[in-house]
Amino acid sequence: MKLTWKTKAEKETRSLAARLGSLLHPGDIVTLSGDLGAGKTTFTKALAAALGVTRTVNSPTFTIIKEYEGRCPFYHMDAYRLDDSMEELGLEEYTDGEGVLVIEWPEMIEDQLPEDRLSLHLAYTGETTREIYAEAAGRRYEALLEEWKKA
């Protein structure tokens, strides 16, 4: 299943992300692809806030994955700076059902990602406009996308 949203301002992207965040369960994986400046981190921050994360979410610089406390653990991974994409990251540690995992630049580690996930792609369409494409793989994510559409 696939869906597309168009947002006309950052706050619309934030509100879309917040609605998704409120629907996420421990064990869920969401990936965010798109060029620099497309809005991946903006989306992640609003999603995290809706998950109850109160600390400021910044892109991990030196570490690849940062962990935050919300309603459940929230793991934010940015694979952009990964210099060896073949490095075993042991993602199972983060996808064992305890927390929610959001990954920016999933294309860097495609081989290590589970097939079942919610894949989002953000595209810059103008200074304040973006298109957000969502594709769900697997039953959990089909259901999640259905709920998100209604939310």
In the bound complex, what is the minimum distance in angstroms from residue 128's beta carbon to ligand ADP? Answer: 4
- Residue 4 found at the interface with ligand ADP (CB under 6 A): no
Among 114, 128, 146, 151, binds ligand ADP (CB under 6 A): 128
Only one of the segments 5-13, 60-68, 87-95, 108-116 lies at the binding site for ligand ADP (rule: CB under 6 A); that segment is: 5-13
Rg (CA), the chain: 14
Longest Cα–Cα distance of the chain, Å, equals 40
**How far is Cα 114 from Cα 82, in angstroms, rounded to an integer?**
18
- Residue 37 found at the interface with ligand ADP (CB under 6 A): yes
Closest CA to 70 of 79, 83, 81, 57: 57
Residue 138: which region, alpha, beta or left (left: phi > 0; alpha: psi -120 to 50)?
left
Q: What is the dihedral of CA 103, 43, 148, 20, to 10 degrees?
A: 70
Among 18, 21, 39, 75, binds ligand ADP (CB under 6 A): 39
In the bound complex, what is the minimum distance in angstroms from residue 37's beta carbon to ligand ADP? Answer: 5
- Residue 70 found at the interface with ligand ADP (CB under 6 A): no
Helical residues (DSSP H) of 5-151, grouped into ranges? 10-23, 40-50, 139-150
Q: State the DSSP code for 57.
A: P
- Residue 41 found at the interface with Mg ion (CB under 5 A): yes
119, 103 Cβ separation under 8 angstroms: no
Only one of the segments 35-43, 83-91, 111-119, 133-141 lies at the binding site for ligand ADP (rule: CB under 6 A); that segment is: 35-43
In the bound state with ligand ADP, the residue whose beta carbon lies nearer, of 10 and 116, is 10
Size of the site for Mg ion (CB under 5 A): 3
- Residue 41 found at the interface with ligand ADP (CB under 6 A): yes
Interacting residues toward Mg ion by CB under 5 A: 40-41, 59
